[in-house]
Structure 1
Amino acid sequence: MATPKLQKAILQPDVQSTDVTLITNHPVPTAKPSSTEHLIRVHTTAITNGELLWEKNFPIPAEFSATKVMVPCNDVAGTVLSAPESSPFQPGTEVYARSNYYRTGCAREYSILLTEEMAKRPQRLTWAESATVPMSAETAWQALFVQAGLEPKPGSAKGKRIFITAASGSVGTWLVQLSKWIGAEVIGTCGSSSVEWVKSLKADTVLDYTKTNVKEWASVEDNKVDLAIDCFGGKSLEDAWWVVKDGATLISIYQPPEQKKPAGVKGNITNFFFIMESKGDQLQKITELIDSGFGKIALDSSFPLDHFQEAFAKVKSGKAKGKVVIDLGVV
């Protein structure tokens, strides 16, 4: 079946507003010759909380904004339609990825992905589940195995204690599970309604931040940890400072930890903020783990394309338990 010239796409017409609309005359992109670009038929794409505010708050460089169309959603699962001859992802391959935010997003029927950001999607998962994985799992992988320097090998962190804020969130879910996979003792924080979920991920200790004073909890020396990873910023990040022992490491995926360092914290604590990068080779390792039976997937709900407004509203409500996915209706 021939690829059409025009397609349906969700568009954010004004970056100063979080309103989105559905258009039917968005051009189908063409993969550039002599590049690593692939044309993908999008099956599902996942919404990232807050992404409709990114361009307003963090404008992308002019050289990228000139070619980017404000189509949201960068977590995607789909089928390759065209590929470079040398690509390991030839037409018909089922793939998933976190596409670069500097490019037009994937809330459209056809999109472009690069060799270096793709992996074969897990066959154990549905299309909707697949779209929830890339950004969340890659962020967790990089926090543990790149930024913290731990070894991605079962049992490699035995004897280590890892503290994770917002452990019930999309990234936190993967941090808990990967930390347990490498043998660490895991302490996770979450709200009351998520305690059972985090327990189901095999966290050793779950702290309900609405009922536990984390600073007081951390005043017991045996509760201190070797590594803390913050996924939420603000008060959660401030609390994390009290938990790390002298000589330990504090990482945030939300904001630079020094911005929330409370007065009175002592000791030599390595701390930094990082932003994940799309790395297909890391995502492929995650695929292999998932297909071996590893991991619970945090999928809240899936909406057909025509119900996109409900999908974005669910994310905005703050009541989603996991990722919200848009299904492009490929049969």
Structure 2
Amino acid sequence: MASTSIPTTMRALIQPSATEKHLILTQREVPAANSKADEHLIRVHTVAPCAGELLWPKNFPPPKPRELIPCPDVAGTIVTAPESSPFQVGDEVYARTNYLRPGCARDYAIGVTDELAHRPKHLSWAECAAIPLSSQTAWQALFFHVGIGDFASDAWKGKRVLVTAASGGVGVWVTQLAHLAGATVIGTCGPENIDLVKSLGASEVINYRTTDLRQWAQTTPGKKVDVVIDCIGRKSLEDAWCCIKDGGVLLSIFQPPKQVQPDEYRGKDIRDIFFVMSPNRSHLEEITKLVEQGKCRPLVDSVWPLEQFGEAFKRLDSGHARGKIILDLSLNH
């Protein structure tokens, strides 16, 4: 199935090579979806870049060479679909697309059934693009990699979960989902975001500018946690080792935790985990239900026209974004 009036060329953001961290806005041919490979062509409305993603091609080269287009988070409208697809032409969808393919910072992109979901209709296009990568990363971290239990498990009740960078793209989802699962959540953030993180479900918020995690863990017996979900790495992750109970779990989405384990650390039986999320339609559909029920929400820092990609990525790289940066391809076009 296909809609009509698909142009032959489109705007696209291109990273010239894996070693260059700048982008150029240029014209490219509209991609052709391969229906035999379960591919859908999507008219892109909004996308969201991910912090550090311009380093991915160098540090994590795609298995097969491909054009380097950023922004795996996408929200848009189906314009072609395989006959067997559960998604029809005109359906409004969102996804975190697979790293094997170019990203979605272009007017038309490709998505496959196993990564697509119908978008929450009550949200804006910008809010929808803020959800897939961050929420699925949080979902998989908590309910698949930590090993305590799935979202509906009573095993989370009474557990203490520490979230670093709790006001960031992934942190806001870890905070909300861990709270909804029944855990007691402690979040770190700057002073301007303390009220926000509390509103997302954190019982305690640590101002990282005035209190480091080692100090916090040493102040009062019983402060240590069962699980740390680290979203920022480096010094914060190093200090997080001191916050884990013996037998606890330290998971980072930034780097392998052992890379920054303190030399003097003497804890026992800590499971340390580093993982990269994989797009999963069923996970995104579960998150969609929670969003539509009003139990959790995305957080958008700012919205930019595609032509202002430079300013958008500068804001992203500042490390001070409160939620997700969004590129809206319908603006100024």
Determine if the TM-score, normalized by the shorter chain, exceeds 0.5: yes
SS at match of 2:98: coil
- Is 1:2 aligned to residue 1 of structure 2? no
* 1:113 match: 111
- Taking the aligned partners of 1:297 and 1:260, their CA distance within structure 2 comes to 31
Render the CA deviation track for 1:126-172: whole Å, top value 9, x for unaligned: 00010011110000000111111322128652111111111111111
Q: Which residue type is aligned with residue 59 of structure 1?
A: P
The 1:151–1:33 alpha-carbon spacing in structure 2 relative to 1, beyond 3 Å, is closer
Q: Which residue type is aligned with residue 45 of structure 1?
A: V
- Taking the aligned partners of 1:269 and 1:57, their CA distance within structure 2 comes to 27
- Taking the aligned partners of 1:16 and 1:266, their CA distance within structure 2 comes to 39
**Equivalent pairs: percent with the same residue?**
48
Cα-Cα RMSD: 1.6
Q: Is the 8 A contact 1:158 1:184 kept in 2?
A: yes
CA offset at residue 264 of structure 1? Answer: 2.8
- Map 1:34-49 onto structure 2 (within 5 A): 34-49=36-51
Q: Mean Cα displacement is larger for which, 118-127 or 189-198? A: 189-198
The 1:264–1:308 alpha-carbon spacing in structure 2 relative to 1, beyond 3 Å, is closer
Q: Is the 8 A contact 1:124 1:290 kept in 2?
A: no
SS at match of 1:197: helix
- Is 1:295 aligned to residue 296 of structure 2? yes
* 1:32 match: 34
* 2:273 match: 272
* 1:23 match: 26
* 2:241 match: 241
SS at match of 1:222: coil
TM-score by length of 2: 0.93
Q: Which residue type is aligned with residue 2 of structure 1?
A: S
SS at match of 1:113: strand
SS at match of 1:221: coil
Q: Mean Cα displacement is larger for which, 315-324 or 267-276? A: 315-324
Choose the corresponding residue for 1:92, options 90, 93, 97.
Answer: 90
* 1:218 match: 217
- Taking the aligned partners of 2:209 and 2:310, their CA distance within structure 1 comes to 31
Q: Mean Cα displacement is larger for which, 292-301 or 139-148? A: 292-301
The 1:214–1:309 alpha-carbon spacing in structure 2 relative to 1, beyond 3 Å, is closer
CA offset at residue 213 of structure 1? Answer: 3.4
- Taking the aligned partners of 2:140 and 2:98, their CA distance within structure 1 comes to 16
* 2:150 match: 151
* 1:197 match: 196
The 1:85–1:159 alpha-carbon spacing in structure 2 relative to 1, beyond 3 Å, is same
CA offset at residue 124 of structure 1? Answer: 2.1
The 1:246–1:143 alpha-carbon spacing in structure 2 relative to 1, beyond 3 Å, is same
SS at match of 1:41: strand
Return structure 1 stretches of 4+ with deviation > 3 angstroms. none
Q: Which residue type is aligned with residue 233 of structure 2?
A: G
Q: Which residue type is aligned with residue 101 of structure 1?
A: Y
* 1:230 match: 230
Unaligned runs of 5+ residues in structure 1 are none
Unaligned runs of 5+ residues in structure 2 are none
- Taking the aligned partners of 1:56 and 1:298, their CA distance within structure 2 comes to 29
Q: Is the 8 A contact 2:242 2:265 kept in 1?
A: no
* 2:259 match: 259
- Is 1:72 aligned to residue 75 of structure 2? no
- Taking the aligned partners of 1:238 and 1:30, their CA distance within structure 2 comes to 46
- Taking the aligned partners of 1:161 and 1:206, their CA distance within structure 2 comes to 13
- Is 1:327 aligned to residue 328 of structure 2? yes
- Is 1:54 aligned to residue 52 of structure 2? no
CA offset at residue 193 of structure 1? Answer: 2.5
CA offset at residue 223 of structure 1? Answer: 0.9
- Taking the aligned partners of 1:108 and 1:264, their CA distance within structure 2 comes to 47
CA offset at residue 298 of structure 1? Answer: 1.6
Q: Which residue type is aligned with residue 103 of structure 2?
A: G
TM-score by length of 1: 0.94
Q: Which residue type is aligned with residue 257 of structure 1?
A: P
